């Protein structure tokens, strides 16, 4: 690379990733094939419109590429329609709202403090300034059970146009059938934001909302799908909804699609179709349970009481007297990357909350099994209990580097 300043930063980040352990549950590693596609000559091409209906010439290969990505993702999620153009998860959600709602219409989604996402109604976001969001919560943060009685009560009261299932920091299993039953009772469309667990669903280790009658799934294509940073919108069978979504993406909120990213999405979808990937997502869940067991043993409170998926949300302030921000910083010092996170009922501020959020997708990609994940959990707790002891932290950092060297980031997945 001729730009030495940028090259230096790229190499430094590569070194950081190789020598440390990535536990942020929304992050993962991609294969060399995905990286190659994402950096391909498709980045040179404008392709406004859809296959067979473009506004510029020279679209033979872009059309074939986008059709391939659509065909693969529809097969993975057992649906009839897909839009693979969203630039990421937030634009995908915004496009669904734009396609199906009028200003002031109601969306019923999960409360941010109970595990939902910013795009599910946080007052600072654009959707919340256009539509009315009402929220449901967990019945008991120590078990993670959703308060479906209250969800139904709110649906009957507010008559939402969309009932949204999905999360950013929720570790238990949603009862999709209950969502569908309540939505049908009030005439609402069901939408599942599966950005975090889409890969685990596609790999067959978690239930597909479409199997229970959901209308729409949105997702990112990174996280557990192990693809490039991007988004998708899937429609189970309603062609009218699918057409509205297409118009909402283009010309509604986006111009030309990023064809190089769609190329990388197609590659990632192909990798997800392999038997090796099915083993991978099953191991993600086993590894999460191994970490959960260590936290239980050490009396670390977990929101939801544990995990059914790839992530854990732990109350480190209540359990260890360490704030989420302190935990994030001190664990970074020993080579473990995760994120501070608010918890249900948190009395602390969002930029220094009570909790931390971590998960197993990236370390599972590196080949970690239950034994290694349990050891990492033990090292995390040891670090937090000795956050001011420089010698102990140096010793733990050496252990983390040894683990990282033993399990290098793979270049190929298939």
Residue 117, marked binder:
yes
CA 20, distance to chain mean position in Å, is 21
Omega cis (within 30) before 398: no
Question: Which residue matches tokens 């950013």?
Answer: 168
Q: Is 220 a catalytic residue?
A: yes
Residue of 152, 178, 207, 229 marked catalytic = 229
Q: Is 60 a catalytic residue?
A: no
Residue 23 burial (C-beta neighbours within 10 Å; 0-12, 13-18, 19+) = buried
Q: Is 388 a catalytic residue?
A: no
Q: Is 346 a catalytic residue?
A: no
Whole-number Å distance between alpha carbons of 99 and 104: 14
Residue of 46, 50, 148, 158 marked catalytic = 46
Residue 112, marked binder:
yes
Q: Is 365 a catalytic residue?
A: no
Give which of 134, 207, 152 is closest to 174, Cα–Cα: 207
Residue of 220, 235, 365, 383 marked catalytic = 220
Residue 367, marked binder:
no
Residue of 223, 226, 236, 301 marked catalytic = 223
Residue of 193, 215, 271, 346 marked catalytic = 193
Give which of 331, 332, 328, 369 is closest to 352, Cα–Cα: 328
Whole-number Å distance between alpha carbons of 84 and 65: 11
Residue 359, marked binder:
no
What's the sign of the alpha-carbon dihedral 335, 219, 78, 274? negative
Whole-number Å distance between alpha carbons of 361 and 373: 11
Contact 230, 88 (CB under 8 A): yes
Contact 171, 200 (CB under 8 A): no
Residue of 33, 48, 147, 333 marked catalytic = 48
Q: Is 261 a catalytic residue?
A: no
Within 276-327, strands assigned E span 311-315
What residues act catalytically?
A: 46, 48, 193, 220, 223, 229
Annotation: binding site: 112, 116-118, 239
Annotation: binding site for (6S)-5,6,7,8-tetrahydrofolate: 112, 116-118, 239
């Amino acid at each position: 690379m001729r730009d030495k300043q940028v090259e230096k930063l790229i190499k430094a980040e590569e070194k950081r990733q190789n020598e440390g352990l990535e536990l942020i549950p929304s992050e993962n590693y991609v294969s060399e094939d995905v990286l190659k596609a994402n950096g391909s000559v498709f980045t040179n091409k404008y392709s406004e419109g859809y296959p067979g209906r473009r506004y510029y010439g020279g679209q033979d290969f872009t059309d074939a590429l986008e059709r391939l990505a659509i065909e693969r993702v529809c097969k993975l999620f057992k649906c009839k329609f897909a839009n693979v153009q969203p630039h990421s998860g937030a634009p995908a959600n915004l496009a669904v709202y734009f396609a199906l709602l009028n200003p002031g219409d109601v969306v019923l989604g999960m409360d941010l403090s109970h595990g939902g996402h910013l795009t599910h109604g946080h007052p600072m976001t654009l959707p919340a300034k256009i539509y009315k969001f009402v929220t449901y919560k967990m019945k008991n943060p120590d078990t993670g059970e959703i308060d479906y009685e209250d969800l139904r009560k709110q649906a009957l009261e507010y008559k939402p146009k969309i009932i949204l299932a999905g999360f950013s920091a929720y570790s238990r299993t949603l009862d999709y059938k209950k969502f569908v039953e309540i939505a049908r009772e009030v005439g609402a469309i069901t939408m599942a934001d599966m950005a975090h667990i889409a890969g685990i669903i596609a790999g067959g280790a978690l239930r597909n909302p479409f199997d229970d009658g959901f209308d729409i799934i949105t997702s990112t294509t990174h996280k557990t799908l192990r693809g490039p940073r991007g988004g998708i919108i899937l429609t189970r069978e309603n062609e009218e909804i699918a057409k509205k979504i297409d118009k909402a993406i283009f010309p509604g909120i986006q111009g030309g699609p990023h064809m190089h990213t769609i190329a990388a999405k197609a590659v990632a979808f192909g990798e997800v179709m392999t038997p090796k990937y099915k083993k991978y997502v099953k191991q993600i869940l086993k590894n999460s349970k191994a970490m959960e067991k260590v936290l239980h043993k050490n009396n670390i409170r977990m929101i939801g009481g544990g995990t059914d998926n790839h992530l854990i949300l732990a109350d480190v302030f209540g359990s260890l007297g360490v704030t989420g921000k302190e935990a994030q910083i001190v664990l970074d010092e020993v080579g473990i990357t995760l994120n501070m996170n608010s918890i249900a009922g948190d009395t602390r501020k969002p930029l220094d909350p009570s909790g931390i959020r971590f998960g197993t997708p990236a370390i599972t990609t590196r080949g970690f099994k239950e034994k290694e994940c349990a050891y990492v959990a033990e090292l995390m707790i040891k670090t937090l209990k000795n956050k001011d002891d420089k010698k102990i932290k140096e010793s733990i950092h050496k252990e983390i580097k040894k683990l990282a060297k033993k399990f290098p980031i793979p270049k190929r997945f298939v």
